[in-house]
Structures are given as structure tokens and as C-alpha cells.
Amino acid sequence: MWKKYVSLCVSVIFTCLNVCAQSAWMEWEEQIGEEADLSSWEEQYENLSELAEHPFNINMVTKEELEQLPFLSDKMVENILYYVYKYGPLVSLNELWGVEGMDKQTQMFLKDFIYVGNSVEKQAFSWKNLWKYNKQEVWMRTDIPLNEKAGYADIPLGEEEKFASKRYYGDPYYLNLRYKFQFQQKVYVSLVVEKDAGEPFFNLYNRKGFDFYNASVQLNDFGKLHTLVLGNYKASFGYGLVMNMGFSMGKYTSFYALNRTGKGLSKYTSMNEANYLQGAGASWKWKNRWLLTGFVSFRNQDATVDNKCITTLKTDGYHRLKKDMEKKNTVFNTLVGSNLTYDGKYFEGGFTAVYNVFNKVLNPAERLYNRYYPRGRYFYNVGVNYKWYRGKFVFSGETAVDKQGKIATLNQLTYSPVVNTSLIVINRYYDKKYQSLYANGFGENSRIQNETGLFIGLETSLLSRIKLLCYGDFFYFPWYRYLVDKKKTIGMEGVFQVSYSPSNSLDMLIKYSYKNKAKNYQDTEESKLVLPNIRQRLHYQLTYSPLSVLRWKTVVEYVRSEVWKREASNGWALGSSVKVDIPRLSLRTSLSGIWFHTQDYTSRVYMYEQGLLYAFSMMSLYGRGERWAWTMDYNWKKRLTFQVKWGWTHYRDRSTISSGAEEIQGSNKYDLQFQIRLKW
């Protein structure tokens, strides 16, 4: 009875008072993100969260800083810098309306990453200034379990070996700590430690405490030294065909970001336990146009080892079960790489070479689909990236070759008749035998391999209050793929999205996506077919903000998944949020609810949910039920921030949730998170 009463009260609140304190750029994440790319979006979310927490002074911002914002086109970056140079210093962010091509949505997103400050010279580096003008932060997050999962049940005496793969070694609490030291844009020092739920803490197989330690140092612009990184770091060059450890430049990003090359060396502050290098790297400037980079890495990696051969590389970062501990730090990887970049007025180019070697032979158990996956002890790749500007046209791309001489190439042509309109055509050819362990770029596959495709897209905001994004992608796979027992399969994807802002307080968005991709289908016990698998998604979003501290948002989503001329599965979701910002009390609070009804997992729905700072929250829901979440932020004198999030998912179609060690008895799942941050 009380559940019905709570649901009724919340529904009434949604109808009468829907309010929000969410940053505008988070709306951009919701609009652009897709479920197919969630792991990559987590890192992008963390990067943008950090930039929003440490905004740039618009009167002193640089080209390199603005290029970190993926919703800004190259031309818009140029126009902003020109406007500040000609009419600066700015005294109000509303002056951005004077920038050529500026539209409401771009200005709204941009405001979260900039502020108006005095145009003064930065403090010169000295040890005295380093300690006097630095900024430091420390914060802690913990997740407290409110359900008992099967993996934490007691093990019967004498049956430890029997339950070794079913019981976690550690307690059910998640814990992470972060520390950050920063001096202007020149010096960064960070330390991140993490323990996942289920991992031992100062006992058993982990007597060093936390499961993951991440230390990183970055120095910028010390004379000819452009960048120096020590400890854990990332390296990204060109368009990702050789080396890209940053945000994937996939189809789901803004078209404006597709022309951006990797940003070279950078510190690593993420909780991801796989996607980083460990060692040192440096970049040197030469004659203002040239940049020479060298980097080395020495690190242990998790892997399944059988008969002194690596059969799989483990990348999830979990060390909770006996089988996880047996795979921890079982192989060692050494990597050496270099890059030479030229940055001219009408041409940009780069040359990248990467060599890495394992202490054991990489040899996955052979299947049809993985016959051409990377195998051996050592690998090397060489790539050349290029970018020409010619009036309103930009031609860019990268061509790479591996140790076998196999080629991967990506080429794109962008036409921008005006500053806020881009028409883009991208052609890609990734040989089925091309191998690169650190490639991560544009494509339909998760690997830069076994794919040919043509992408055509349009993004425009010719009318200041209407923005249109649409594209079609046509792809071909010459070899077998996972769950596709057939060669030479084809597919296509199309997206049409319109956002409309009739006033400063009202925003609407509608998005339709269609994907047709081959997949195995079990017709009978003896018969297996490869048929087109079609997934359609319709998403509508309405946001209303009568006051700067109030926002109402309602989301409706429909998903249809079907096998060609076979059965279809449908899914629906309706979500709304209540959020309020009370500046006088330094308080923010939010309440959100989602109702979902899907026929099975194939018609699952994905809904964004307000989370803690740096914590990306995209819910995957299937079956029948509701999801409620409440958050609160308290900021004391802009120094101490306390955050809490409580969530409740109620299923109407099951008596157990999940399976294996994660199984929960009952139809309710609860989660509770706390985070505290201190700045000085």
C-alpha cells in the first residue's frame, strides 16, 4: 500500500513542480550518446565533468582549450577567439551572442565551461608561486549495498573450493579516493585509488589495501617542453588508427569533433583499470609549427594464460573471485612510441609509430570470427594523418599499416557553407587482417579491422533556435564476426534528430534511429540462419525552465527490435525528473522516475539519470517496472561539497534480479551512494 502512495505522491509532484539543476552540457551528452558506445561515454563524461569543474577564463582562453569541447566546430573556435581579440575583454557571457554563427544551444553548452575573468598575465612559474597559487582537491566516494547478493553469502565449512567461483573474496562496499593538485594550466598532480565491491581490502590476496592505484603527473609549456607526463598517462594521435586512448571518435559524437585529431599525451585520472600507459612521455616544440613526441610504457596486465600463451586479455578491472585473482598481472607489456606533428595555417599532418611487446605469446583460441585477431609477442604500427583546409572545405584522414603490411585508412571531406552547418562524407577501409592493439576510431566494429563503410551526415543550426542532425552509414564486413557465422555481410544505420528551442525556457528534442545489421538466428535446434537484425528507436524529450533554478524534463522512448520477417520485440519507457537549486541554502536536490515495459532484453531501453560528480549514470532497463532516484548536493562556502544518491528499481515481472554471484532475491533493488569533496 505504501508503495502505491509513494508512487502517487511522486506523480503529483512531477505534474505540479518539475525542477532541475543539471548542467546544460549534460543535455548534450543525452542527445548525442547512444547505448552502443557506453564504455567510451563514461570516460568522455568524466573529462567534461573535470572541465566544467575547472572552467576557462574566456578572456584568456586558448585554441587548444576550446578544442577540448566536442560541440564546438573548428570555425566556431576561430570565431570565438577572433571576437575576444577584437572586442575583449568581455564583461558578460551574454556578449557571446555577438560571435558569428553562435546559436542558443551552443551558447548554453559553452557557459558551463567558461567564465568572465580579468585579462591578466598568468603568474610565472616559481616554487614560491607554485605553493602560493595552487588549487587542491580531495574527495571520497562510497557505495553502500542495501541488498544481499548471492556472492556475499557465507561459504559452507569445508566447501571453499566448490564455491570459489561463486563467492566474492571481499566486502560489498565500493570505495574510491581522489586527490588533485593544480597550478594554473602548467602543473597537474593526481592520485586515484579504488576498491570495487567484492574485492578484498587489506586482507587475503590484497594486503596492499586498494585494488587499483593510479598516480599521474603532467607539466605543460616549460620553454620548449610542451608536455611531460609521468606515471599513468594516455596517448592519442591522428584519427585513432594507430594509437587512441582517449574518447572514441565514433559515429555518436558531434560531427564537429570528427575533424579533431588526438591531443597527444595527457594525464590519466580515470578509474578504468585497462585503458592507460605507465611510464613517461614528453613533447618538444620546434619553431612553433613542429611538435616531437616520445613515450615509453612498462606495465603488468590481466590475462588468461594457458600453457604460457595469452588466450584473452582481461579488461574489466574486477578482482573479486578466485578466477579473477588467477588472471591478475599475469603478463607484462612494454611499449615504445613516437609522433611528429606539423601544425600549419592550411595544412596539419602527423607521423606516428608504435611498437609493443608481451612477455608471452598472444594466441586466442581460434574461432572463425577471430582468425585474424592480433597474435604473437610483438606488434608495431605506423600511421600518417593529414588535414587540408581549402576555403569552406576540409579534407582529413589517416592511413596506417601494421607489421604484416595490412592497411587501415580513413578519409573524410567536410563542407561548411556557413559556420554552423557541416556536411560530412567519411570513407573507411580496414583490412580484415589489420592488427593494432591500441587503435580506437570511427567505425561500426569495436575493432579497427574487417570493415568497409561510407558515412554521410549533415549537422546544421541555420535557424538559431532549431538544430538538425542526420546521417546515414552503410557498412560491409568481408569476414565472419562474433555471432555472425557468415562472410560478406552488410548493414546500415540512419539517424534523424531535431532540437527546437522556441524560447529561452523551453527546449524540445526528437530523435529517430534505425539500424539493420546481420546476426545469427536459431530457427530450429538443427537450423541456424544469419538474418538482418533491425533495431529502431524513437526518443522525445521536453524541458521547461520557467526560472533559472527550475526545470521540468519529461522523456518518452520507444524501441522495436526484430529479426527480418520473424518475431518483433517492443519496449516503452516514460521518465520525468524533479530537480531544484536553492542558492541561498547552497543546496541542490533532484528526484527522478522512470516507468518501463519491454517484452524482453532485445527491446531494452537506456535512460540517462542524474548521478554524482564524475559518475556517469546511464540505466539499462528491460522487463516491467519502475526506477526512482533521489540526489542531493550541499556546497558549503564553495569548499566542502557533500553529495548523496539513493535509487530504487522495482520489477513487476520477476522474483529474482540478475544471476550468478550478482543474484538478488526479490523484485526490488536499492542503491545508495555518498561523495564528499574538499577544495582549497
Query: Quick one: what percent of the chain has pLDDT higher than 70?
Result: 91
Q: What are residue 395's DSSP bridge partners? A: 388, 413
| CB 374 within 8 Å of CB 432 | no
Does residue 364 have a cis peptide bond before it, meaning omega lies within 30 degrees of 0?
Answer: no
The Cα–Cα gap between 430 and 478 comes to 10
Burial class (CB in 10 A: 0-12, 13-18, 19+), 4: exposed
- Tens-digit pLDDT profile for residues 295-342: 999 999 999 999 889 999 999 999 999 899 999 999 999 999 999 999
The Cα–Cα gap between 333 and 106 comes to 43
Query: Which residue, among 452, 413, 407, has the nearest Cα to 429 in the 3D structure?
Result: 452
Q: C-alpha cell of 80?
A: 570565438
Amino acid at 165: S
- Phi, psi dihedrals of residue 332, rounded to the nearest 5°: -125, 135
Q: What is the pLDDT of residue 1?
A: 41
pTM for this model (two decimals): 0.89
The Cα–Cα gap between 443 and 36 comes to 12
Q: C-alpha cell of 662?
A: 550478482
* pLDDT of 37 strictly over 80: no
Q: What is the pLDDT of residue 92?
A: 87
CA dihedral 442, 445, 447, 448 (to 10 degrees): -50
Q: What are residue 115's DSSP bridge partners? A: 57
- Tens-digit pLDDT profile for residues 565-609: 888 999 999 999 988 888 888 899 999 999 999 999 999 998 888
Which residue do the cell numbers 572545405 mark?
393
Task: Classify 101 in phi/psi space as left (phi over 0), alpha (psi -120 to 50) or beta.
Answer: left
Residue 606: partners with Cβ closer than 8 Å, 6 or more residues away: 35, 38, 618, 619, 620, 621
Q: Give the three-class secondary structure for 47.
A: helix
The Cα–Cα gap between 672 and 631 comes to 10
Q: Is 457 or 37 the better-scoring residue by pLDDT? A: 457
Dihedral over Cα of 67, 73, 78, 84: its sign: negative
**Domains in the chain: ranges and CATH:** 25-119 (1.10.150), 221-404 (no CATH)
User: 2-6, 16-20, 75-79: which range is least confident on average?
Assistant: 16-20
* pLDDT of 549 strictly over 90: no
What HEC string does 557-578 produce? EEEEEEECCCCEEEEEEEEEEE
* pLDDT of 58 strictly over 50: yes
**CA distance readout (Å), 259 to 108, 168, 417, 459:** 23, 45, 16, 13
Residue 308: partners with Cβ closer than 8 Å, 6 or more residues away: 360, 361
The Cα–Cα gap between 524 and 542 comes to 45
CA 19 to chain centroid, in Å, comes to 27
| CB 444 within 8 Å of CB 431 | no
| CB 399 within 8 Å of CB 409 | yes
